[in-house]
Chain A
Amino acid sequence: LRRHRVEVSVELRKAKKDEQILKRRNISIHLKEESPSLGQDRADEIIQLSLEEIVQAVNGDDTQLQLLATQATRRILSRHKDPPINQIIELGIIPRLVEFLGRADSAALQFEAAWALTNIASGTSEHTRAVVQGGAIPALISLLSSPHMHISEQAVWALGNIAGDCPLYRDALIAHDVIPPLLALVSPATPVGFLRNITWTLSNLCRNKNPCPPLDAVQKILPVLIFLLRHEDRDVISDSCWAVSYLTDGCNDRIQVVVETGILPRLVELMDSPDFIIVTPALRAIGNVVTGTDQQTQEAIDAGVLAVLPRLLRHSKPVIQKEAAWTLSNIAAGPYQQIQQIISCGLLPPLVELLDRGDFKAQKEAVWVVANFTTGGTVDQVLELVRSGVLKPLLNLLLVKDSKTILVILDTISNLFLAAEKLGQTEKLCLLVEELDGLDKIEDLQNHENDMVYKAALNIIEKYFSGEENTDLEPQTGQDGLYDFSVEKQDFNF
């Protein structure tokens, strides 16, 4: 039951995250208006073709004119500001451009056409559709095997744009057998710039859910991704990590496919990279893995994730803190053995620090860690958690505006009292909460506008703080010192 709840909330939060990312897409580079023309074929460029002239030439029979017109089209589409993609589509020349892709007699024409189509496909879904409906998919896939590297590279790029548009086109490409020729391009001799394009296109073939990419396709791609993860180029590594993070962002079966490749130790290693653009996707991938089964989570633990997380919880970038805490929350949702590993790997101190003064979003995730911990942990483990000083920052967070977080904290407090009850230390915990001004805060929450918050707060008050204060609050000594909350009280007042 607990498991389910956690996963739902993870799902929810993930969905939100994706939404933000979608909004952010396509804001890549904004450079100045490019200077009129640069490059080797500058001489030709002086002839500015009008759109009508382009249409005429493209539809004509003169190869030279076709080339000029295609080049002009490509130029218009590759200027930095507001390329007139719609206008070009309206010219109706896409089918001709697709035709040109097959013109093995003119490599230049193939190249220019591939470039032009790349840029058309880089626009909105409608633009991409125009390219696909023009029949570009099979033509581009055959170009992957072109003897000219710059042409196959351009084809890779165009296919990447198509694959990135939606699962439907992604699967259409896979159905057209894009994967074998694409993977064939990867070799130790491939120039790094080319390799970046291939990696990015591969990542788009792994991207998106509902549905996930076909299993057999994934299985073909994974070995190559493992190879690319060992490359030295940061962009190649980063995009490969992103690809893995897409593949692990799904049901447990999909996670299993990835885990079985034995890729986790490398991912954990990359999580520890000093390079921000590598850490982010590697952490995301591992974070996805630990949403899986206990066994899958254990694989991540065995790969050493708990040794890296303390550093990431203290990372200078808030977004890394947040993702690290999210990852930890899912490990804390595991069986008590895994919780024990969290303790023994020294994660409680950085967790308390994060709770105390981390980024707000990271704090919310940290609250989830504590909540899951108190739900699944043994009484001893919960005691250990309290001793590490978690109560004070946790109670402080009751002042936040977000009622969802407040509810989780109140839930956690209830869990703590349950544990204290088992130890017969309820009064001590009451005292402790009171001393940390927690009682006032909880009492105030009875006036909270959110009904659930009100009920949860009331519930705690009624259960543990109602009635007369016990006059005989002599510190009760537990059967053995370990269980004595007063010990951790002293810890608190240091």
Chain B
Amino acid sequence: YYFVIFLQRVLLLVASDVDALCACKILQALFQCDHVQYTLVPVAGWQELETAFLEHKDQFKYFVLINCGANVDLLEILQPEEDTLFFVCDSHRPINVVNVYNDTQIKLLVKQDDDLDVPAYDDIFRDEEDEEEDSENESEGSEPSEKRRRFEEEVIERTMKRRQRREWEARRREILFDYEQYEYHGTSSAMVMFDLAWIMSKDLNDMLWWAIVGLTDQWVQDKITQMKYVTDIGVLQRHVSRHNHRNEDEENSLSIDCMRIAFEYDLRLALYQHWSLYESLCNTSYTSASLKLWSVQGQKRLQEFLADMGLPLKQVKQKFNSMDVSLKENLREMIEESANKFGMRDLRVQTFSIHFGFKNKFSASDIVYATTSLMENIEKEEPETTNFIKALDSLSRGNLDKLHQGLDLAKKQLRAIQQTVASCICTNLVISQGPFLYCSLMEGTPDVKLFSKPVSLCLLSKYLLKSFVCSTKNKRCKLLPLVMAAPMDVEQGTVIMVGIPPETESSDKKNFFGRAFEKAAESTNSRTLHNHFEMSIIELKTEDRGKFLDALISLLS
């Protein structure tokens, strides 16, 4: 709505996650169509955000922040000039209350039906004019008055005021505590951005696809509840049929460069259309955890599962593209049927796929995996900006080679995750600390470098927790959250640590580790850095890890 005023140069600050990239793509397309000049700066964390702001604040008055900035007091940390304006499109929740109630410098782009539960203004802000009690100062130094009236219990009145104020402050703290306690995610920024385009009647098919990828990213990263996912899928599905209906008239047949989005019930198997079915089964968290593939029995179970479907091993292990067409026809139904027997009832998911011409078909999750891997590519020592740009490019439909490169990287990434999960479980690296589970990757573990990257580490943590919950017989442990640590920078002696909520079916995906980390760091004077937009990711000095964990344990016990 606000973008109508965008006639000036704009600075785009975009966080490093796929949803942000998608939102960014949509906005770029809008800008292009409105001839708005902009500069794009990727920001991986708070420090970069601050630096980027400082570098550009003289040239720009308008800043758009995508998937960053909502959950802190922006005016406090950036100290902008009064005429600076921020447009914040960020799925991080809770939104900082100052951002919510500042309507002069901060414009939040939020879906209106998102339930924010923001505390009422009067409960958290108070005009300071109550303080003018000492108005006697002006008569200071003059003669005492000859007569004085005694006012209504001056002292009591003043202490009452003070007490009321104290109570109000205590209540405010409580409200804010409740409000800020849990970190979670709202509607995908790409979807919000798409809504914007749609309202302005500038929504293109590409934009819709990016919105789908943004939402799918939230689902793959396990940032939103199943309910929210299904609801949003429904919203997007309506857009898809609207677009497809519209396009039918224009392009009666599928031409070579056209794209078509389709809603479908697909298998929850990562990248299987670009891999072999066997590899995909092994490296998908859901199947791997359910079948307990890290154990010998698990491997046997996989064989039984394949046998049950009646698929020859040779077919299963070759590239999916090359699989017998006759087998592929009823493949989904076959797999689902067998999966049900093996206790995997959720193998079917609602998602979307996209066709580029006749040849290329991708599911939304394929794109998410590929883009993530490009973004956190560790194969070449390249500046993060390069990875960011590559990832961004891979989202354009003309860039199939980049996309394929991403798919290859994604396979490596998933394999690395699965192997690490297996080794962690087999060597009992996951230990219960009482209030939470803890797992620390040692320096020298294969692929450890990959897990110094936040998104990969989060994926690993989630997969590991899923697998652990399936492997352990300890019922209490099944309900615990997980804290995972991995070496970050050996030279600087730092580790990266992430906390994730318990893996339960009814999980609301709310994460309390952000606040807990903050408190634990405070109470132990640990040298930590809350640099990630995700508050539940923290960097700290390796030698401080012990006391930090102790504090965390006693804090959460």
Which residues of A pack against B, CB within 8 Å?
21, 24-31, 34, 38-40, 75, 77-80, 83, 115, 118-119, 121-123, 128, 154, 157, 160-161, 164-165, 193, 200, 203-204, 207, 238-239, 242, 276-277, 279-281, 317, 319
Contact = CB atoms under 8 A, between A and B. Distances in A.
B141 A79 contact: no
A290 B146 CA distance: 26
Contact of A203 (B133, B144, B147, B149): B144
B150 A277 contact: no
16 contacts: A21-B142, A24-B139, A26-B147, A27-B145, A30-B135, A31-B133, A34-B157, A38-B152, A38-B153, A38-B157, A80-B151, A83-B149, A157-B150, A161-B146, A200-B148, A203-B144
B156 interface: yes
Nearest to B148: A122
Contacts of B131: none
Which residue of B145, B146, B153 has the most chain A CB atoms within 10 A of its CB atom? B146
Interface of B: 133, 135-136, 139-153, 155-157, 160
Contact of B136 (A28, A39, A77, A193): A28
A28 B146 contact: no
Contact of A276 (B141, B149, B152, B155): B141
Given A119-B149, A160-B147, A317-B141, 11 more contacts: A25-B146, A25-B147, A28-B148, A38-B157, A39-B152, A79-B151, A122-B149, A207-B146, A242-B144, A280-B141, A319-B141
A165 B146 contact: yes
Contacts of A280: 141-142
A276 B142 CA distance: 10
B148 A24 contact: no
Given A38-B156, A38-B160, A29 B142 contact: no
A459 B156 CA distance: 69
Nearest to A36: B152
A101 to B, nearest CB: 15
B147 A128 contact: yes
A128 B160 CA distance: 32
Contacts of A29: 135-136, 151
A77 B157 CA distance: 16
A277 B141 contact: yes
B140 A119 contact: no
B148 A161 contact: yes
Contacts of A157: 148, 150
B139 to A, nearest CB: 7
Contact of B152 (A26, A40, A75, A319): A75
Contacts of B140: 276-277
Contacts of A200: 144, 148
Contacts of A75: 152
A121 B151 contact: no
B153 A239 contact: no
B139 A27 contact: yes
B150 A119 contact: yes
A122 B149 CA distance: 5
B60 to A, nearest CB: 45
Contacts of A80: 151-152
Contacts of B136: 28-29
B139 A31 contact: no
A361 B167 CA distance: 50
Q: Is the interface of A mostly helix, strand, loop or mixed?
A: helix
Contacts of B147: 25-26, 121-123, 128, 160-161, 164-165
Contact of A78 (B141, B143, B145, B151): B151
A242 B148 contact: no
Contacts of B133: 31
Contacts of B145: 25-28, 164
Nearest to A164: B146
A242 B139 CA distance: 14
Given A24-B142, A39-B156, A276-B141, A31 B151 contact: yes
A118 B149 contact: yes
A83 B140 CA distance: 25
A160 B148 CA distance: 8
A165 B146 CA distance: 7
Contacts of A40: 156
Contacts of B146: 25-26, 161, 164-165, 204, 207
Contacts of B148: 28, 122, 157, 160-161, 200
Contacts of A165: 146-147
A129 to B, nearest CB: 13
Contacts of B149: 77-78, 83, 118-119, 122-123
A415 B149 CA distance: 53
A78 B135 contact: no
A118 B151 CA distance: 10
Contacts of A26: 145-147
A415 B155 CA distance: 60
A12 to B, nearest CB: 19
A27 B136 CA distance: 9
A193 B150 CA distance: 13
A276 B136 CA distance: 14
A77 B148 CA distance: 12
Contacts of B157: 34, 38
Given A39-B153, A75-B152, A78-B150, A31 B143 contact: no
A128 B146 CA distance: 12
B142 A239 contact: no
Nearest to A121: B147
Given A28-B136, A39-B156, A34 B151 contact: yes
B139 A79 contact: no
A157 B154 CA distance: 14
A279 B151 CA distance: 28
A317 B141 CA distance: 10
Nearest to B130: A32
Contacts of A276: 140-141
Contacts of B151: 29, 31, 34, 78-80
Contacts of A34: 151-152, 157
A119 B153 CA distance: 13
Nearest to A114: B150
A80 B146 CA distance: 18
A79 B144 contact: no
Nearest to A162: B147
A277 B145 CA distance: 14
Contacts of B153: 38-39, 78
6 interchain residue pairs of minimum CB distance: A164-B146, A122-B149, A122-B147, A161-B147, A78-B152, A280-B141
A26 B146 CA distance: 7
Contacts of A128: 147
B513 to A, nearest CB: 44
B531 to A, nearest CB: 47
A200 B147 CA distance: 10
Nearest to B160: A38
Contact of A242 (B135, B143, B152): B143
A280 B140 CA distance: 10
Contacts of A39: 152-153, 156
Nearest to B153: A39
A21 B155 CA distance: 28
Which residue of A21, A31, A242 has the most chain B CB atoms within 10 A of its CB atom? A31
A260 B54 CA distance: 71
A448 B141 CA distance: 38
